[in-house]
Amino acid sequence: MHLSFKRLRRILGALTLTFSSLHAAQAADVQVAVAANFTAPMQEIAALFAKETGHKADLSFGSTGKFYAQISNGAPFEVFLSADDKTAARLVSDGRAVGTTLMPYALGSLVLWSPTEGMVDGQGKVLATGTFAHLAVANPKLAPYGVAAMQALHKLGLADKLQSKIVMGENIGQTYQFVHTGNAQLGFVALSQVMKDGEISKGSAWRVPAEMHAPIRQDAVMLVRGKDNPAAAALMQYLKSDAARAVIQSYGYGIIE
């Protein structure tokens, strides 16, 4: 085998780094499964988390249902940020998550949104006029935002009338995509998707009042795989910090004490 001195030095350097990080033990990686609607805020939180604690959070984004199936089949996640309050609890009762760590981290807000200025009025009256071909809603069978949207439509007495105009996204991300590309003129999306720095950045929107639907409570839980990982515990703790909460709120989520 032929090893140049330069290469050898590089390998030695890498080894030393590995050992020293093992030695330090405080700085570790944590594998996190994150509900798709929480993508943007979690990226910000993970950056802050790394800066403050030295731990690194590796984020995977996807739908809550898929994560449930993957975690049940041995996926190596250590912390799970669910899009609802059922799936995390179910993982606890399955024995795959640590029940004492279960906590709400965000309260989702629903918004009726269109990229077109002036399309959606401040009271959502546009829904009753029916002057649109397609209304995008997340699939209520799969997505908590879809459940909330259908509840709001029922409350308005428009669910039956609009049934033929509803197109369903598999998750809130795809629902947003339908509206964003203009294929659906408007749709019920997560406030976090259209909010930037505390305000709705584009188009027109109606923030659906919270009393029109059951709360969209999003729970986080530590998975059994993360039990002995200090970084997992640190992340659960960090989600409750003021810094993390400020990020969460800046995306239009509420906080439950």
Partner 1 sequence: MPFNETDLRAIGLTLRLAGTTMALLLVLCTPLAWWLARTRSRWRGPLSAVVALPLVLPPTVIGFYLLVALGPNGPLGQLTTALGLGTLPFTFWGLVLGSLIYSLPFAVQPLQGAFEAIGERPLEAAATLGAGPLDRFFTVALPLARGGFVTAAILSFAHTVGEFGVVLMLGGNIPGVTRVISVQIYDHVEALEYTQAHWLAGGMVVFSFIVLLGLNLTRRARLLP
Binding site for partner 1 (CB under 8 A): 63, 65-66, 68-69, 133-134, 136, 139, 141-142, 166-170, 174, 177-178, 181-184
Q: What whole-number distance in Å separates Cα of residue 45 and Cα of residue 65?
A: 23
Nearest to 175 by CA among 201, 193, 156: 193
Provide the token pair at 63: 């739908």
Contacts with 232 (C-beta within 8 Å, 6 or more apart), sequence order: 30, 78, 79, 222, 223, 226
The minimum distance between CB 183 and partner 1, in angstroms, equals 5
The minimum distance between CB 201 and partner 1, in angstroms, equals 19
Q: What whole-number distance in Å separates Cα of residue 192 and Cα of residue 108?
A: 8
The DSSP element (H or E) to which 209 belongs, if any, is: none
The minimum distance between CB 177 and partner 1, in angstroms, equals 8
Contacts with 89 (C-beta within 8 Å, 6 or more apart), sequence order: 102, 219
The sheet with strand 135-138 has its strands ordered as 166-169, 135-138, 186-190, 110-114, 204-207
- Residue 85 or 170 with smaller CB distance to partner 1: 170
Contacts with 8 (C-beta within 8 Å, 6 or more apart), sequence order: none
Rg (CA), the chain: 21
- Residue 15 or 69 with smaller CB distance to partner 1: 69
The minimum distance between CB 64 and partner 1, in angstroms, equals 8
- Residue 168 or 234 with smaller CB distance to partner 1: 168
The minimum distance between CB 69 and partner 1, in angstroms, equals 6
The minimum distance between CB 205 and partner 1, in angstroms, equals 19
